[in-house]
Amino acid sequence: MEDAGRDGATRARREWKHLTGADFARMDRARTIVMVTCSPLEVHGPHLPVVTDNLEAESLSIRTMELLHERDRSLEFVHLPPLYVAADVLPHPGSVMFRSSTITRVLGDLGRSLAKQGFVHIWVASFHGGPRHFIPIEVACERTNRRYGTKMLCAFSLLINRLTRGGSELSSILGHIDGVTAADLRGDHHGGAIETSMMLHLAGDRVDARYRQLAQRTLDGKRSAEGLPPLPAGGVLDLVKSFKHKLKYYETETYSGKPAIASAAIGREMIDVLARHSADALAEVLGGTLPLAQCHSPIWPLRWLFTTEWLSRAFERAVGYRQSVF
């Protein structure tokens, strides 16, 4: 899929940064979806570049756009340059952290700017499971929709609602792919086989080859070694309760999973599987069978827990989390 040429010929995906005023004047806003990635620069183990989440979200967005265009050739997509305004990043040198309120303001301003230009369909992509990141994105989308009548949504929240009910466990979704098993992927939440495989496919020359020597590490594995039971993985309250344990785990660890089994072929297939799930869900949104009210993450009803800054700071102090930026 390519940009629009100088003659303004319609393509399935066009890069916003390359378009001219004449291109925008001819654009059919009713059939155009604007997509933007908002995902962090964050440490992912000793082997992956900090752009990992951002690049993964971009690749998923592009593949999703391709799949939707194959289904409906009348759709047009305009792709904005990615943002790296993100919260809940690992507290290690190399991660770039912003306040949750900054995320809401940046995306709120973006949504307002696009709405004033007549755009209705605005999709925000991410590949970062920190609730103090994706919940503020949802808040910005909801406010923009309420004020301007847009259909702005957090595609990441919709996807985790559909696939994991808010958790970060993808073993049952990706465990059927050749080269891995569901058991291999349990606890693979950050910088493990999933993300290492994706990055080998997307930017293999940027992956440190020493990933092959990295031992499997997970939060539940660490708890087992300490004689503690696995964390519950049931409802929304279990997700909230496990948040503090994940914060403490990543104070000392920079990955969770089994990077050594990764491969580029596995990564390519994983991106395609996730993009197909994303395309299915977003097609329902476009078709009107999935209302925006059902596109939120499962923890949306408890959003105040993750968007109230003084409460976040009090929570970090209570669990002894060392957060060195704010």
**Run of H or E residues at 123:** strand 121-125
Res 326 pLDDT > 70? no
Highest mean pLDDT among 213-227, 259-273, 302-316: 259-273
- Closest C-alpha among 51, 103, 112, 67 to residue 281: 67
**Run of H or E residues at 147:** helix 131-148
Distance of CA 299 to the CA centre of its chain: 15
Res 231 pLDDT > 90? no
CATH code for the structural domain at 13-296: 3.40.50.10310
Q: What are the φ and ψ backbone dihedral angles of 122, each rounded to 5 degrees?
A: -130, 120
Q: How confident is the model at residue 324 (pLDDT cuts 50, 70, 90)?
A: low
Here the tokens at position 226 are: 């300490």
Q: What share of the chain is helix, strand, coil (3-state, %, to 5)?
A: 55, 10, 35
**1, 75 contact by CB (below 8 A):** no
Instruction: Determine the pLDDT at residue 317.
Output: 79
Higher local confidence (pLDDT), 1 or 47: 47
**Region 96-124: what's the mean pLDDT?**
97
**Run of H or E residues at 185:** helix 182-185
Res 106 pLDDT > 50? yes
Q: Specify the residue for token string 């080269």.
A: 179
Q: What is the pLDDT of residues 243-259, one digit of tens each?
A: 888 888 999 999 999 99
Q: How confident is the model at residue 5 (pLDDT cuts 50, 70, 90)?
A: very low
- For the chain, what is the mean pLDDT? 91
Distances (CA, A) of 65 to 56, 77, 271, 286, 297: 14, 7, 13, 13, 21
Residue 39 to residue 46: CA distance in whole angstroms: 19
Instruction: Determine the pLDDT at residue 6.
Output: 33
Res 239 pLDDT > 90? no
Instruction: Determine the pLDDT at residue 238.
Output: 65
- Closest C-alpha among 122, 32, 71 to residue 283: 71
**Region 267-273: what's the mean pLDDT?**
98
Instruction: Determine the pLDDT at residue 305.
Output: 86
- Closest C-alpha among 153, 30, 49, 32 to residue 94: 49
The one-character DSSP state at 262 is -
CA pseudo-torsion sign 199, 202, 208, 211? positive
Instruction: Determine the pLDDT at residue 325.
Output: 58
Q: What is the pLDDT of residues 176-203, one digit of tens each?
A: 999 999 999 999 999 999 999 999 999 9
**Region 84-90: what's the mean pLDDT?**
95
Q: How confident is the model at residue 9 (pLDDT cuts 50, 70, 90)?
A: very low
**155, 61 contact by CB (below 8 A):** yes
**Run of H or E residues at 244:** helix 236-252
Instruction: Determine the pLDDT at residue 7.
Output: 34
The one-character DSSP state at 256 is B
Instruction: Determine the pLDDT at residue 3.
Output: 45
Q: Specify the residue for token string 């997307």.
A: 202
Q: What is the pLDDT of residues 278-323, one digit of tens each?
A: 999 999 999 999 999 999 999 899 899 889 888 888 877 776 766 6
Residue 111 to residue 125: CA distance in whole angstroms: 14
Q: Where are the domains of the chain?
A: 13-296
Length of the chain: 326
Q: How confident is the model at residue 168 (pLDDT cuts 50, 70, 90)?
A: low
Q: How confident is the model at residue 159 (pLDDT cuts 50, 70, 90)?
A: very high
